[in-house]
Amino acid sequence: MKAAFYSKLDAYLNELDTKRQRTYVIRDIVGLKMSDVYRTNTSSTIFPCKIIEKNSQNNETLYVVATQNGIIKERFDQMAFLDILQQQI
């Protein structure tokens, strides 16, 4: 019984990992969740951004994004993004 439980748990966790690790391509529109600390002058909690650069090193992919006002200097991994186009459907 324990073996069946753990095999189902492993299958669930593997499926969850594959769903969470979506790879993005250049020109994809994504959302960045803004921390409450930085929201003093904005009403939205999600920044719509466009991916403009993709860099892969040591089995890790980092993305450079741009907003309507300019390019964000920090690089982000795919876990930082919200898939805003899928949320609207």
Please tell me the total count of domains within the chain.
1
Residue 80's contacts (CB-CB under 8 Å, 6 or more residues apart) are: 32, 33
pTM across the whole model: 0.65
Eight-state DSSP code of residue 23 = -
pLDDT tens per residue, range 20-29: 567 788 999 9
Expressed as residue numbers, the domain containing 49 is 23-87
The CATH number for 77's domain is 2.30.30
pLDDT tens per residue, range 47-77: 899 999 999 888 888 999 999 989 999 999 8
Which residue from 24, 26, 67, 23 is spatially nearest to 47, judged by alpha carbons? 67
Question: Could you give the angle at the alpha carbon of 52 between the alpha carbons of 69 and 36, nearest 5°?
Answer: 50
Pairwise pLDDT comparison (89 vs 78), residue with the higher score: 78
User: Does some domain include residue 62?
Assistant: yes
User: Does some domain include residue 11?
Assistant: no
User: Does some domain include residue 79?
Assistant: yes
Helix (H, G, I), strand (E, B) or coil at 77: coil
